A and B are shown apart, each in its own frame.
Chain A
């Protein structure tokens, strides 16, 4: 940096804005990262409460609490939207991405700090619109996939779906701006000597994710706009009576929707790679393979979308192609799983809380992944499509794996973020309760799906009672785990032990551990030089 002297002067005073203005007008990647994490936690409470209501209703056959079935559908819809757009994405990308990427690559901040601010506040506005969608009229009971004709003006006539569309538009704009910011930052602001092939894998994961966002979100935005004009201005993109086709929506939605799955899980891969390496005290095994596996997953993620449409009546040759393409994803995913295990092989493993979550992630992602291989087969999928088997599958890879990665990252980096370390015993207890809870909740859903229980129904034939009760008990256990998380959070922030720059020892080699804890308001004012360090 040319103005190193003035930077040093800044550092001496640590020009930190105070009060509300520090947050409202923030251009600081750490503060914005913190706000993303807070938003993610708040949204998780809302979305989690919705899933609690769903499991409460489904605990026994018959209608217990939710007599308005439209409200049930709204719960299912809002739970999906909130968890995807307002919990996992802001947590992993906005939160950890903003906080950690500049620290890891030795950049003083993000490339476009003001754009970073608008990215966050657009998302906050989007959350408000999403809540308004739920409160308008009878709410959007369309499922998060918003399939027309159910989502068009004939069947959802009040403004609820419109609010939902506008919310997604804002969330999408937020994501695209964030993606541009990450791409620019990562490509231009790395430490001296940090070539692309020496970047930490978490940075790689965010870079690939940002490209996925940049390419997928505009397709969603286009589809949403078409749906908006269908609903309000008399176009007929998705209405057969006007020459349109409801299936067109599904192609557009899933062209976004499938990459979206990897947008959620690639940053999780990145977090897990850092943690496994740190707690094995070994560099990541097969680093290049790991980086290129993520690129491969990102690329293939764009050409498999119609496996979500196995039952819409696509031509059999089309389905055959999507079967083949989808199964290919298992190969780079396998490379990642085996490379994590090989990283641990020969290592000197410590099982602190972040590592427990990481190990839980690896195993449960495999469980969710192999059922994905089953579902990829369009033929077999006729038994599973739209049943609880699918619900179990995507909750294993998202609700379990991605959320485990969020908790892993939280325990791994909270010392760096807050300057205080979490209580180890409580953290481990949180892990074990959640691990048991989510498995009791979601594993029986495989059985329900195989027996034929459809998704998104508020009541079910009596034969499904047993496993539904078990699943609901699992939800209750998970809820206890979540309460424990808040105890951990408050204990950490209120009474956690002050933590040194690098609490994890020699395994933690990335640059964020070279700055003090908590990370000062301004870091890396002089570009670090990592040329002397061995490649990852």
Chain B
């Protein structure tokens, strides 16, 4: 699998990351050094906020490094044989307490805005229920006839052309783009975490609780995620695969899925319902 340890690859990756504009490719790339491209308003805001943070923390680190290099060069034994006895400087001490406070306030304002924006949506157009199991996900569509299906990892020896190892599943979640989707998360056994990096969504599924968040997918395409809370032996083998389609294509898929994933006990009823819907 691992072929090239190319020294230029990180640099190329950096260039491609910086120049990556609208490409809908929400999956990890080799030698990637940044966040996955955003596919939701939440992730766009995480990008913006993180870009701010990255500048601040890089400047702070370089500032400390510069001070240390200066001290090492200027105040070593040779260049400064007689040490000073200064141990106090009130103004300096006030500054290095107050300035970090100001920086933190500057960080906190956008941080709180982001936090409250991403929490949940007031005007959900549909709901998707996500249930974590050891070690697969199941999904329910309560607004579309409440059909449900399980989503399992495609094992390595059954991978088809183009399917990604450890990311591909047999039944992917299908969601419409440009729609506010309420996500309700629960678990049937231990804690799991439903995470799709491109959406900026990451929330534990906790037995006995229902967690809520939301997503509005901005571009059609396939998005990947992985379980992000240690859940036992196969924790690394319960990926998430979301296919975002147009609203029309989503309607067509729902009609098909209602039949395909109808519950055993009321399958006939749902087939009848689907026929009525179709008319």
Interface of A toward B, CB cutoff 8 Å? 60-62, 69-70, 73, 141-143, 147, 149-150, 154-155, 239-241, 245-247, 280-287, 289, 311-313, 316, 319-320, 323-324, 327-328, 330-331, 334-335, 337-338, 341-342, 344-351, 359, 362-363, 366-367, 370-371, 373-374, 377-380, 382-383, 385-387, 447, 450-467, 469
Contact = CB atoms under 8 A, between A and B. Distances in A.
Nearest to A61: B1
Interface string B45-83: 110011001101100110011011001100111001111
15 contacts: A313-B211, A324-B108, A347-B83, A349-B75, A366-B64, A377-B114, A378-B115, A382-B42, A383-B50, A386-B229, A451-B34, A452-B195, A463-B29, A463-B32, A466-B10
A366 B57 CA distance: 9
A368 to B, nearest CB: 10
A440 B72 CA distance: 24
A51 to B, nearest CB: 17
Nearest to B46: A383
Interface stretch (B161-169, B248-256, B258-266): B161-169
A291 to B, nearest CB: 13
A386 B206 contact: no
B167 A320 contact: no
B101 interface: yes
Contacts of B231: 150
A330 B100 contact: yes
B83 A461 contact: no
B220 interface: no
Nearest to B114: A379
A241 B75 contact: no
Interface residues of B, number: 100
A382 B203 CA distance: 8
B175 interface: no
A282 B85 contact: yes
Contact of A457 (B45, B54, B236): B236
A450 B30 contact: no
Given A337-B64, A447-B33, A463-B30, A312 B204 contact: yes
Interface string B221-256: 000111111111111110000000000000000000
A511 B105 CA distance: 43
Given A73-B232, A150-B231, A374-B50, A363 B115 contact: no
A330 B56 CA distance: 13
A331 B87 contact: no
A93 to B, nearest CB: 27
Interface of B: 1-2, 5, 9-10, 27-36, 42-43, 45-46, 49-50, 53-54, 56-57, 60-61, 64-65, 67-68, 71-72, 75-77, 80-89, 92-93, 96-97, 100-101, 104, 107-108, 111-112, 114-119, 134, 164-167, 185, 189-191, 193, 195, 197, 200-204, 206-209, 211-212, 224-237
A374 B224 CA distance: 24
Nearest to B26: A452
A341 B28 CA distance: 40
A363 B65 contact: yes
Nearest to B90: A286
A240 B228 CA distance: 21
A161 to B, nearest CB: 13
A377 B54 CA distance: 13
B101 A331 contact: yes
Given A312-B206, A313-B203, A453-B28, A348 B83 contact: yes
Contacts of A385: 202, 228
A280 B83 contact: yes
A383 B200 contact: yes
B75 A285 contact: no
B27 A463 contact: yes
